[in-house]
Amino acid sequence: MSAFASGAPVLELHHLSKTYRSKTGATGDTALSDVSFRVPRGEVVGLIGPSGAGKSTLIRCINRLVEPTQGEIRLGDTNLVGLGTGELRRQRRRIGMIFQEYALVERLTVMENVLSGRLGYVPFWRSFTRRFPGQDIERAYRLLDRVGLLDQADKRADALSGGQRQRVGIARALAQEPELLLVDEPTASLDPKTSRQIMRLITEICAEHLLPAIVNIHDVPLAQQFTSRIIGLRSGKVVFDGSPASLSDAALTEIYGAEDWTAMQQEHEQDEAADADARLRLAGVVK
Amino acid sequence: MTTAYPRRWRRPPQIVPDRRWRIGLQLLILAYLVLAVGSVEVDWTRVAEGLVRGQRFAMGFLQPDFTSRWTDIRQGLIESLTMTLTATVVGVLISVPIGIGAARNLAPPPVYLVCRSIVAVSRSLQEIIIAIFLVAMFGFGPFAGFLTLSFASIGFIAKLLADDIEEIDASQAEAIRATGASWWQLVHYAIQPQVMPRLIGLSLYRLDINFRESSVIGIVGAGGIGATLNTAIDRYEYDSAGAILLIIIAIVMVVEYSSSYLRKFLQ
Amino acid sequence: MSDANPFYRETSHRKPGSRPGEPRHYSQIWTFRTPHTRLAMWVGWLALVALFVYCWQVMNANTMWVFVNDTPSQAADLGSRMLPPSLGYLPELLPPLWDTLNIATLGTLGGVIMAVPVAFLAARNTTPSIAFVRPIALFIIVTSRSINSLIWALLLVAMIGPGILAGIVAIALRSIGFVGKLLYEAIEETDARQIEAVTATGAGRAQVLNYGIVPQVMPAFWGISVFRWDINIRESTILGLVGAGGIGLKLQASINTLAWPQVSTILIVILATVIFSEWVSARVRHAIL
């Protein structure tokens, strides 16, 4: 186990930068500047930082939904930067992505959404006629069973609840048989309890397959609870990289700025207090 | 890994779940298509000739001749433009009271019924048919065209206006009513501010439609550019016809762009 | 408050040199708009009235008011001739009615088939080239939309001769613009996140279209097609006036022979057809949405 975990890094970022071209001038907003880190197998990295810090850009640069301006992205032996369209398609298959607000194709069935994870593997006519190879369908059923939605396969995606939809999103990403998971704010529109369930599911699956993951997440306590490493981003720069335990108040102030962090903390404490209060009252009612 | 999962999956049919109904429906559609296509009689030698003419028309479209029929074109354009504008103005003026009368939340039932029937008649008769009758009654020329377009505008604007009034925020109207306002005050303070931008938008949209229609009703003698176009096509003068069509397209584009600009400006 | 907002112009006056603590004096005059916008509005209305009067005079320069004054008696005469409608004429109308239905349906089918690729070429997010292909697609849409189906029919009858085919092609050509415009707007309004998610799986362009975009525009597509079919039924009833087949041919023939009772019968049939198609299209659209 530990041999795997400390093995060769699956993902390496070298001096990754992204500057959005502004409409008027030559130079624009710098979203990422000189980001470098490595992710070994089985490691779940929590990416935290204030909104606008470049978390979303960083994740999208890795599978080149956003074109990086400079730097290198190594997935195994391949440098993803500079690949042509066809080769990029083949490399994207290796990277599963889970989205904020699920991003399922709402009007397709749950099964079609999961099978769409195989699109990079099958020719157009198969996907067009919905005649996927037998092993793909078998895998899709197994994944739906794993996320607890086996009986929902023929429902349309927009008939599911938020938590269920995110589970379909997870199954879709896993259908790709990925070597890396990119997770963009998986809990953004979920209630606290469902959020924890989804995070638990993601980390469990990563542990089962020794899958590395980068989880872009705004909820710091949730990140500390579920990830094995935290990277803090501020204004496109890495300002913290360490274990969840070593994430001190000073480090958080560095990431979020003094005011924001205190405000966030207070908000969280209030949430916790409200939660505890509700639990107490509920207990009273039950008794 | 012990459980066996199915290796086959078919997308469940979304619209007609029952298999027999689905196949029956498909057969029905197929049968209709066969019958319909079979009923089209095509004279292929005529079509082949037509392709040559089509080519000539395409050439005329690419090399339009604005000059040789310019006086006719000018006269037709002036008629079209003037009747478009006057008909839209008159149409809007008449549609406002009818639109208010056709709104269930403002008008008493008898008024509502009368106004809704005016709207229904105006909407279900097409411009060209109205034009045939008005030409028969008022004689040839743009005046009949003006009346046609005004009448058609009433159905269009009054209907949409009435639907809008019926959909307005009832709580705002209630708030005004609660202050002890009269019916007129209610219309002025609660209804007008809510539907005014929409009315202006509708009028501009109708202006656009009226111009397009004015290019058609000339075919039955109601004046405008349509009459000129009809003559040009009857005489196989495709270069003049191409010129007229290009002018129509250009004016439609100008009207459409300027009306969308105006709508943005007014809001 | 700044004067930028015309609705909330603060009209309080504070004496120069008065301290903030002193009670303010409020103006008793409140206006809805600033004088500037009010002036602009009046000028705008005045211009519209002047334009109207001018257009009215130009338009009616050649109007024979004798004919117009004659209208009441003309109308009465026409009315008495049209009534009662000749019901014995009805069976003769069934074949042209069938033709009319076919013109509308086959024309819609043809128009939709041609409009779909045009729409995908015109939509900003699916076009292969914004600078080159998109303007061409938009031009096709504008051309088709600006020219009424009756004019298309006029052209086609002149080219390929009178008959149903000219009607079908005319309806199809007119439908391209309508369906194309509404469909490309629907394509542009699709949810970009769903498309991004499909792209991220490593899907190719055609697959992204098939899985990400098509499911999202499907309801709009059906709604637009049925709506256009409804309009086409209405339009195909009159295409016969220029020789493009259908019930309009009968209308034209009856008017030419001054057979007014037949004319009123035809009008009733057209009205019934239009109402029926409107009902069908409303039902179908309701079922889709």
Q: Per the domain annotation, does C75 fall within a domain?
A: no
pLDDT at residue C6, as a whole number = 42
Q: Per the domain annotation, does B158 fall within a domain?
A: yes
**Gap between the Cα atoms of B260 and B262, Å rounded:** 5
Is the confidence at residue B44, as pLDDT, over 90?
A: no
Contacts of C264 (CB under 8 A, 6+ apart): C82, C83, C84, C85, C86
Contact C194 A97 (CB under 8 A): no
| Chain B residues inside the 8 Å CB shell of A154 | 12
Contacts of C126 (CB under 8 A, 6+ apart): C120, C187, C209, C213
Q: Per the domain annotation, does C67 fall within a domain?
A: no
Could you give the number of structural domains in chain C? 2
**Gap between the Cα atoms of B130 and B126, Å rounded:** 6
Q: Which chains touch C (3 or more CB pairs under 8 A)?
A: A, B
Confidence grade of residue C286 (pLDDT, cut at 50, 70, 90): confident
* Whether residues C29 and C170 fall in one domain: no
Q: Per the domain annotation, does B25 fall within a domain?
A: no
Residue C193 Cα, gap to closest chain A Cα (Å): 5
Contacts of C217 (CB under 8 A, 6+ apart): C183, C186, C187, C190
| Chain B residues inside the 8 Å CB shell of C275 | 124
- Residue B77: give its domain's CATH number: 1.10.3720.10
Contacts of B44 (CB under 8 A, 6+ apart): none
| Chain A residues inside the 8 Å CB shell of B5 | 137-138, 141-142, 145
**Gap between the Cα atoms of A169 and A117, Å rounded:** 9
Could you give the number of structural domains in chain B? 1
Q: Per the domain annotation, does C237 fall within a domain?
A: yes
Highest-pLDDT range among A170-184, B100-114, C49-63, C235-249:
A170-184
Farthest CA pair distance, chain C: 93
Report residue C70 as tokens: 């004659």
* Whether residues C116 and C171 fall in one domain: yes
Determine the structural domain holding residue C49 and report its residue range. 1-15+23-59
Residue type, A229: R
Cβ contact A95:A45 at 8 Å: no
Is the confidence at residue A116, as pLDDT, over 50?
A: yes
* B97 phi, psi to nearest 5 deg: -60, -40
Determine the structural domain holding residue B123 and report its residue range. 68-266
Contact C74 B136 (CB under 8 A): yes
Cβ contact A194:A25 at 8 Å: no
Contact A92 C201 (CB under 8 A): yes
Pairing of strands A29-39, A229-234: unpaired
* Whether residues C36 and C139 fall in one domain: no
* Whether residues C124 and C254 fall in one domain: yes
**Gap between the Cα atoms of C80 and C70, Å rounded:** 16
Q: Per the domain annotation, does B232 fall within a domain?
A: yes
- In which element (H, E) is residue A229 found? strand A229-234
* Whether residues C49 and C131 fall in one domain: no
Is the confidence at residue A115, as pLDDT, over 90?
A: yes
Q: Per the domain annotation, does B58 fall within a domain?
A: no
Residue A217 Cα, gap to closest chain B Cα (Å): 32
* Whether residues C98 and C233 fall in one domain: yes
Cβ contact B102:B163 at 8 Å: no
Q: Per the domain annotation, does B171 fall within a domain?
A: yes
* Whether residues C55 and C104 fall in one domain: no
* Whether residues C50 and C145 fall in one domain: no
* Whether residues C11 and C123 fall in one domain: no
| Chain C residues inside the 8 Å CB shell of B54 | 159-160
Q: Per the domain annotation, does B62 fall within a domain?
A: no
Contact C56 B82 (CB under 8 A): yes
- In which element (H, E) is residue A131 found? none
pLDDT at residue A8, as a whole number = 65
Continuous H helices in C205-259: 205-208, 214-236, 247-256
pLDDT tens digits, A193-218: 889 899 999 999 999 889 999 999 88
Best C201, C205, C217, C221 member to test A by mutation, with max A CBs in 10 Å, is C201
Cβ contact C220:C183 at 8 Å: yes
| Chain B residues inside the 8 Å CB shell of A109 | 11-12
pLDDT tens digits, B163-209: 888 877 777 777 777 777 777 777 777 777 777 878 888 888 888 88
Q: Per the domain annotation, does C221 fall within a domain?
A: yes
**Gap between the Cα atoms of B211 and B250, Å rounded:** 12
> Which B positions 5-34 lie with beta carbon below 8 A of chain A?
5-12
* Whether residues C279 and C179 fall in one domain: yes
Name beta bridge partners: A181: A96, A213
Please check whether residue C113 touches B, CB under 8 A. Answer: no
Q: Per the domain annotation, does C68 fall within a domain?
A: no
Residue type, B65: D
| Chain B residues inside the 8 Å CB shell of C165 | 40-42, 47
Q: Per the domain annotation, does B238 fall within a domain?
A: yes
**pTM, two decimal places:** 0.81
The ipTM, to two decimals, is 0.84
Give the strand order in the sheet containing A95-98: A95-98, A180-184, A213-216, A44-48, A229-234, A237-242
Please check whether residue B194 touches C, CB under 8 A. Answer: no
Q: Per the domain annotation, does B178 fall within a domain?
A: yes
Contact C200 A92 (CB under 8 A): yes
pLDDT at residue C15, as a whole number = 46
- Residue C102: give its domain's CATH number: 1.10.3720.10
Contact B7 A135 (CB under 8 A): yes
Q: Per the domain annotation, does C130 fall within a domain?
A: yes
